[in-house]
């Protein structure tokens, strides 16, 4: 059984970025499935060991190398993106990104043949068979296991904020869901997803992880697919909530925000600040508001007294943490809004064109 360890938590503030993207044809339409990019042709050197299928062959995942300093995140992300786009084009494909491909119909797509995914399909059935989702995962290094669990607990209030800002999946199998992030709701149909509960300390989380493995509830540690989690192999806190994005600046805004949040929460932990211990049900309500309303969402505030609009949260966070990326994301039209406007005014060709992965 694949297990992590408290010994993994050794460094503070390092970064890693994982992106899930779509393999599409020249017109940006989903491909039914291909093994060419992952298994049949050697990828560029920078992608070696950093490229794999997700559940569907047309969903592909990349990981950056370990990023030592936040200021190096942009070039690390763009280097991986450029290599992926070049690799795809060399083999007759293109790469697109969003939370869901608006025209992808899961019944027409091929599943990856990796034994891990075959096992998941057999065990989970329908919810996994239709899981064409694609997200962004940000890892931030933490130098102590108990601190990582405390930070993950506190981040639960913030992940709906990131989801609302990232909302980029209004369409599902070609129709408008009325949601801003249908990806988040579709993914929640899987077991061990969504908003995690509060854990007292690393020992409590480790006991939970071990019990899930020993009872065959999961096959490996990676099947704990919560919106935020201590990553007991990499020694990080992993935020898994944003929708996929074509624009690297949006991804980098989330990286900047995640890094600043983790650093600030680490200071609170070291100062002995009491944790919030929010009920998961209230956090689920905030996540639902993000899914449904995106940039127009209001949230139950962190002190649980009243509500606060996303714009006010963004202003507060930028001032508090000395960042500005998420403000630019908020002030621009959301991905969901842009997708709807393009489809309604210029049609599906323009919509598909807008999702091609950007590399500058």
DSSP assignment of 137-189:
EEEEE-S-HHHHHHHHHHHTTTHHHHHHHH--B-EETTEE-S-SBHHHHHHTT
Determine the pLDDT at residue 54. 79
Share of the chain above pLDDT 90, in %: 85
CA 18, chain centre distance (Å): 8
State pLDDT tens for residues 213-248: 999 999 888 899 999 999 999 999 999 999 999 999
State pLDDT tens for residues 262-286: 999 999 999 999 999 899 999 999 9
State pLDDT tens for residues 87-106: 999 999 999 999 999 999 99
Given a cut of 80, is residue 2 above it in pLDDT? no
Per-residue H/E/C for 200-265: CCHHHHHHHHHHHHHCCCCCCHHHCEECEEEECCCCEEEECCCECCCCHHHHHHHHHHHHHHHHHH
- Whether the pTM exceeds 0.85: the reply is yes
Ordered by where they begin, the domains of the chain are 6-353 (3.30.590.20)
Given a cut of 60, is residue 72 above it in pLDDT? yes
State pLDDT tens for residues 324-341: 999 999 999 999 999 999
CA distance 22 to 282: 33
138 phi, psi to nearest 5 deg = -115, 125
Beta bridge partners of 62: 19, 51
């Amino acid at each position: 059984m694949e297990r992590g360890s408290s010994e993994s938590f050794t460094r503070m503030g390092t970064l890693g970025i994982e992106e899930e993207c779509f393999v599409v044809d020249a017109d940006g339409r989903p491909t039914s499935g291909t093994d060419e990019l992952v298994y049949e042709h050697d990828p560029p050197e920078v992608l070696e060991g950093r490229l794999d299928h997700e559940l569907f062959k047309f969903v592909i995942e990349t990981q950056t190398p370990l990023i030592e300093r936040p200021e190096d995140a942009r070039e690390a992300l763009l280097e991986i993106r450029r290599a992926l786009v070049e690799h795809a084009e060399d083999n007759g494909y293109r790469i697109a990104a969003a939370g869901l491909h608006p025209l992808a119909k899961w019944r027409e797509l091929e599943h990856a043949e990796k034994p891990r995914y075959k096992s998941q399909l057999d065990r989970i059935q329908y919810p996994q068979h239709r899981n064409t989702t694609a997200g962004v995962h940000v890892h931030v290094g933490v130098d102590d296991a108990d601190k990582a669990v405390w930070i993950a607990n506190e981040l639960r209030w913030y992940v709906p904020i990131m989801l609302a800002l990232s909302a980029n999946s209004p369409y599902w199998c070609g129709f408008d869901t009325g949601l801003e992030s249908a990806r988040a709701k579709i993914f929640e149909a899987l077991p061990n997803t969504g908003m995690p509960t509060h854990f007292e300390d690393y020992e409590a989380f480790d006991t939970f992880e071990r019990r899930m493995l020993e009872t065959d509830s999961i096959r490996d540690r990676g099947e704990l697919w919560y919106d935020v989690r201590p990553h007991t192999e990499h020694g990080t806190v992993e935020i898994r909530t944003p929708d996929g994005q074509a624009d690297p600046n949006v991804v980098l805004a989330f990286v900047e925000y995640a890094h600043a949040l983790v650093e600030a929460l680490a200071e609170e932990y070291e100062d002995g600040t009491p944790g919030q211990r929010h009920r998961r049900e209230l956090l689920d309500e905030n996540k639902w508001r993000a899914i449904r309303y995106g940039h127009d969402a209001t949230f139950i505030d962190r002190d649980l007294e009243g509500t606060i609009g996303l714009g006010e949260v963004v202003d507060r966070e930028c001032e508090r943490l000395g960042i500005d990326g998420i403000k630019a994301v908020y002030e621009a039209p959301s991905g969901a809004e842009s997708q709807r406007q393009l489809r309604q005014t210029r049609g599906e060709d323009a919509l598909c064109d807008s999702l091609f992965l950007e590399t500058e």
